[in-house]
Amino acid sequence: MKEFVLIFRLDDPGHMKPSPEQMQERMNWLAGIAAQNKLADKGNTLSVTSGRTVKPGNIVTDGPYTEIKEFISGYIVVKTDTIEEAVELAKGNPIFKLGGNIEVREVIKRD
């Protein structure tokens, strides 16, 4: 099996604090993936306020990129045979109800 990272993006930082119902919905989605033995790493939530961006020439700016309209809120890693299967897992995430999206990318392991 291959590993794919599901990168969660939101356009409103207010959605980082879900209601209890939204949190339960997210946990149910994650539990469904784990029950299929396809969860490789439960990932983490990423801060939207504490961060630095390092650019060429040793230029360091505060926070995540501010010139984009969305931010990465977190990620998980799933294991599936194909990217299409990983996409199908992503389609069930409740982030879409908030206007968010999920980027699916294969993890390339170095030997």
| CATH label of the domain that carries residue 78 | 3.30.70.1060
- Alpha carbon of 20 to those of 24, 26, 31: distances in Å? 6, 10, 16
**Is residue 45 in a domain?**
yes
User: Does the pLDDT at position 12 exceed 80?
Assistant: no
**Is residue 68 in a domain?**
yes
Q: What is the DSSP letter of 98?
A: G
What is the rounded average pLDDT of the residues 59-63? 77
**Is residue 111 in a domain?**
no
Compute the half-sphere exposure of residue 109: CA atoms within 13 Å on the CB side of its CA.
Answer: 7
**Is residue 32 in a domain?**
yes
Highest mean pLDDT range out of 41-45, 83-87, 96-100?
83-87
User: Does the pLDDT at position 1 exceed 90?
Assistant: yes
Which domain range does residue 10 map to?
A: 2-106
Query: Using an 8 Å Cβ cutoff, are 8 and 100 in contact?
Result: yes
User: Does the pLDDT at position 3 exceed 60?
Assistant: yes
What is the rounded average pLDDT of the residues 63-75? 71
**Is residue 76 in a domain?**
yes
Compute the half-sphere exposure of residue 26: CA atoms within 13 Å on the CB side of its CA.
Answer: 19
**Is residue 25 in a domain?**
yes
Q: How many domains does the chain have?
A: 1
User: Does the pLDDT at position 94 exceed 80?
Assistant: yes
This prediction's pTM = 0.83
Mean confidence (pLDDT) of the chain: 87
d(CA 41, CA 39): 6
H-only helix segments in the chain: 20-35, 83-91
pLDDT of residue 78: 97
**Is residue 82 in a domain?**
yes
**Is residue 59 in a domain?**
yes
